[in-house]
Structure formats: C-alpha cells, structure tokens
Homo-oligomer: A and B are copies of this chain.
Amino acid sequence: MEPKEYRSSIIERRKDVLASLENLGVKIYEQMDKGYFPSVEMPSRSTDNIYYDQKLRQFILGDKTVRRSARNIRHLKPFAQLVWAALFSYELTSQRKTSTLRDVYYSAQAYEMTFKDQQESNNIITDLETVLGFSREDFNIFPEERSAVFGDLTISYTVPGYEGKTLNLTSHPDGVMIGPALTSAEFVETTADKVIAIEKGGLFTRFIEENVHKKFNALLVLTAGQAPRATRHFIRRLNRELNLPVFIFTDGDPWGMHIAMVIISGSANAAHLRDLTTPDAKWSGVWATDIVNYKLPTDPLDEIDMKRLYELQKDPRYKEDPLWQREIKTFMKIRRKAEQEAFSRYGLTYIVDEYLPAKLEETR
C-alpha cells in the first residue's frame, strides 16, 4: 500500500489507522475463508530498492515487493508475528495506550508470541509500517527520547482525560515536552510566523530567556541532538498545517549538518514513510562559512568527521541545493568545526542579537 499522505485532523487520522488495521485483518480472514493460505505483500526495503525522489525530496521504495505467505514454512513465523503486531497495534490504538519498541518486545510474551530478540520485533514493526504506510507512532509506539517546544501556539489535546483541554506553549518557561500527548494534539491558534529548531538544550533555554519567541515571532523547537521521529513529524505539522517556514540551527560540523538534513529530507530507513520530512525547511547554521566569517573558536575535524563529510558529499540529499556542497567543501578546506555555544566568545546574547537575525534574513 502507498505510504499515507499527511492529513491535518488528528482524529480523522486515528480513524484511518484503525480502519487500515481492520482492513488488513479482513483481507487475511477473507483469504482463509476462500481456502487460500493467507499472505501479505509489501514493498521491499532492501537497499537495492531505495531511491531518492527529487520531487518528494526524500528516499522512497521502488517497485520490488516481497510476499509473506503462510504457505511457505520459512514465512510462517514472521507472518504470524506480523499479524500479532497488527493485533497489538490495534489494541494500543483503540484503547489509547502508548508503548515503546522495548515494551512491544516484552508484551509479545503475554500473548505467547515469541521474538528471538529486540531486533526481530523491531523489524516486524517496521514491516507493519511498510504494509500499512503508517508510522509506528500512529500505532502509539513511541520513542523514549523527548524533545521540547516553546512559543505562542495554543494546542488542544486529544488524549484520554484531556480531550478538548487547551495549553498555550508558553505556559512553562523550560519548554513543553514533545511526547505522545503533544504530538496527538490539534493546533488551535498561533501568532508565530516561523519555527526555529535548535540542536542544544542550553541554547534553547537561552533563546527563551532572551525572548526570541517574541522578538522574532517564532516557535522554538529543541531537537536535543538528532530529532526523534515524533519531533520530526511535529515540525512537519507546524510547517504544513500552520504554513510556518522552518529554520534549523545546529553545531557547525558534519553531525549538526546532518541533524538539519534528516529534519528536511528524512532518512533511508524511513523510505517507506511519507510524513517525517519538511523539505522546505532551511539549515540556517552554524555553517562552515560562518566559522570563517564570524571567526569562531574551533576544534579540528578528526578522521571520523572527515570520513563523514566524504559520505555526505556523495549523498543524493546533499546534491539538492548548492549550499550543502559549498559548506561540505568549506569544512574540508578549513578542517575545523565549531559548536553553537562558540558565539559566547562575543558575549552570551551575541547569538540572539547579531547572528540569529542575520541568518534568518540570509536563509529566508
């Protein structure tokens, strides 16, 4: 089945998820009813079936498919595991309980369904994502990691016990955690006209203290390193539903650059999904050229950093915009990297007073 395009209404989406799980069950039941061995077909996720799509600006799966059939003795166990994963996902989603990949692994034992190890159960959940085109967060299977958001956006919860309750995301000046309740909330209203995503917690707090949300009419999102999938989906929603441009600020090194890229164009691992990317988001810094222009304190790029730069240089996602190639080349030339905090050499508020407005202007 084709991966699902984004829909704005959380409640509509939940209905689609449940219908899609029911539909899988019906298909399997009908096959058995007709006397056939039940089977499921899905796109292959092997690397030779992953392509970069220039229109979608993300990786997608090609035409190769794989089939799991109860007729094939080698498929029998993964087929049963997949059906169990669908049952468990249906229970989670309909009962509105959340879970983690780790929990799924142990929960299987309550059903006398066995997985060899965590990796095996993770793979089956990815199979289910691929078959149905929904992501595991849609089945209420969430990552452990939490990031945060702050700014003038009022949300309305859809989780049990909080239905219809609203919260303004300036309510808590440490930032509001992005967990299952926030990612399943509807957006009510905002005065913001942009989103600023920030890699580091210390800087996120600095931005709040310096009133960046007011001065720049911005919603501030903390990615806390590589943004968890739920956060990437949340950023996409801010961009799509509220029409807010997204600016990403990371450390000035290949890893920071890639944090921005994964928010923009996603990863090859999620080629079977469609709603984790924000192709129009901008990487606003710290660029290699910023390191030069702002004379930032630096550390040398080590061998692992350099190896990573060579990998990124060949990556199709980095061929979209000449900016990426220019910055990769500059990193290779100067062989230095700089953290976001390096701007503190000009005083704690320089990054907010000088750097941020200059870069928002440059990348808008």
Contact = CB atoms under 8 A, between A and B. Distances in A.
Interface of A: 96-100, 102-103, 105-107, 109-110, 142, 144-146, 148, 157, 159-162, 167, 171-182, 200-202, 205-206, 209, 211, 224, 297, 339, 341-348
A34 to B, nearest CB: 34
Contact of A106 (B174, B209, B341): B341
Given A157-B173, A202-B142, A209-B97, A106 B297 contact: yes
A58 to B, nearest CB: 27
Contacts of A103: 202, 206, 341, 344, 348
B171 A181 contact: no
A348 B107 contact: yes
A97 B347 CA distance: 12
A172 B174 contact: no
Contact of A345 (B107, B148, B209, B344): B107
Contacts of A181: 172-174
A99 B146 contact: no
A110 B174 CA distance: 26
Given A146-B148, A174-B176, 19 more contacts: A98-B205, A100-B201, A100-B202, A100-B341, A103-B344, A106-B342, A106-B345, A109-B344, A110-B347, A142-B202, A146-B174, A161-B211, A171-B171, A172-B181, A172-B182, A175-B179, A176-B177, A177-B177, A179-B205
Given A99-B202, A297-B109, A345-B106, A148 B177 contact: yes
Contacts of A98: 202, 205-206, 209
Contacts of A345: 106-107, 109-110
Contacts of A110: 344-347
A341 B141 CA distance: 14
8 contacts: A107-B348, A109-B344, A110-B346, A110-B347, A146-B146, A157-B173, A160-B209, A179-B205
Nearest to A175: B177
Contacts of A160: 209
Contacts of A347: 107, 110
B202 A144 contact: yes
A41 to B, nearest CB: 31
A99 B200 CA distance: 12
Contacts of A346: 110
Nearest to A177: B174
- Nearest 8 pairs of A and B residues by beta carbon: A174-B179, A100-B202, A109-B345, A106-B344, A173-B181, A144-B201, A174-B177, A107-B344
